[in-house]
Chain A
Amino acid sequence: MNRPEREAAVRRIMERSVPSVPPGLYAEAVRRGGRMLRRRRAARRLLWLLLATVTVAFVVWALLVQPWVEPPSETTPPLTDW
C-alpha cells in the first residue's frame, strides 16, 4: 500500500462510528463560558479600581508633602541677630 491508500484506510477506520451529540452541550458551554466572561470582567474592573485608588492616593500625598520643594537647610543655623 502506498501513502494515500494507507491514509484513506486510516480515515475509514476513524470515521466508522459517530458519537451522538448530547443535548445539554450547548447550554453547559454557554454557562461555563458566561462564567468565564463575568470573572474576567470583574477582574478587569477590580484592577481599574485599584489603579484609580493608587493614583488618587499618590496625588493627595504629593499635594500634602510637596516633595519637589527644597527642604530648609539644617546644617547651617539661620543668621538672626547680626
Chain B
Amino acid sequence: MRQRQVAQGARRAREFEAFVAGAAGRLLHAATLLTAEEPHDNPRARRLLTLALAHTYASWDRLRGEDPYDRTRQYLAARFARGAWHQYGGLVRARRQPAGALARLTPQERLILVLRLYEGVAEEQAAALLGLPLERVRTLCDRATATLLHPPRGPAPAVAGPRVAPS
C-alpha cells in the first residue's frame, strides 16, 4: 500500500513536470492577458497560474484520460471570473491601473477574447464554461474586438471595472 503510493507519487511528479514544462509558457501568457498586466511584471497572473497548476496537480490521478491543459485552463478561467469583481470593482481595495495589451477591455471581455481567440475555444464551449448564452458571448467578443482595433479617444485605460450590460 505504502509502496504503491510512493510509486504513484513519483509517476505523478514526473508527468506533471513534463506537463508544466510544455504548457506553462502558453498558460502564463493567457493569464497575463487576462489580468492585463505588463509581461515582465505580472504577480497576479503568476499567482492565478500557480493556483490553477496546483489544482491540476492535486487532481492528476483522477483525470482519467482528460486533457490536463484543458482542465487547467478551465480552472484558470473560472477562478479569474470569480475573482474579477473583487479585484477590480471592490469598494475597499484601491484598484491598480492595468497596463497590458488588453487594458481597455473589461475583465469579462478579456476573458471571452482570450478564450475565443487566443486559446481557440469554440463559442459553445466558452458559453458553457462561463454560464452565458451563446449570443451574449458572440456580442461581447465582437464588441471587445471593435474596442481593441478602434480604440475610443481619451486616456488609455479608461475602462477598468465591470460595466453594467445594457439590456
A: which residues have CB within 8 A of B? 1, 6-7, 9-11, 13-22, 25-26, 28-34, 36-37, 40
Contact = CB atoms under 8 A, between A and B. Distances in A.
Nearest to A8: B117
A19 B28 contact: yes
26 contacts: A6-B145, A10-B148, A10-B149, A13-B148, A14-B114, A17-B39, A17-B101, A18-B25, A19-B42, A21-B24, A21-B25, A25-B28, A25-B46, A25-B49, A25-B50, A26-B17, A26-B20, A28-B50, A30-B57, A32-B50, A32-B51, A33-B56, A33-B58, A33-B60, A34-B58, A36-B55
Interface of A is mostly: helix
A13 B54 contact: no
A25 B53 CA distance: 9
A9 B55 contact: no
A13 B102 CA distance: 9
A11 B57 contact: no
Tell me which of A1, A16, A32 has the highest count of chain B C-beta atoms within 10 A of its own C-beta. A32
B83 to A, nearest CB: 16
A65 to B, nearest CB: 38
Contacts of B29: 15, 18-19
A6 B58 CA distance: 39
Given A10-B117, A19-B28, A29 B46 contact: no
Interface of B is mostly: helix
B148 A21 contact: no
Nearest to A7: B117
Contacts of B21: 26
Contacts of B60: 33
Nearest to A31: B54
Contacts of B114: 14
Interface string B11-27: 00100110011001100
A34 B51 CA distance: 12
A32 to B, nearest CB: 4
Contacts of B28: 19, 21, 25
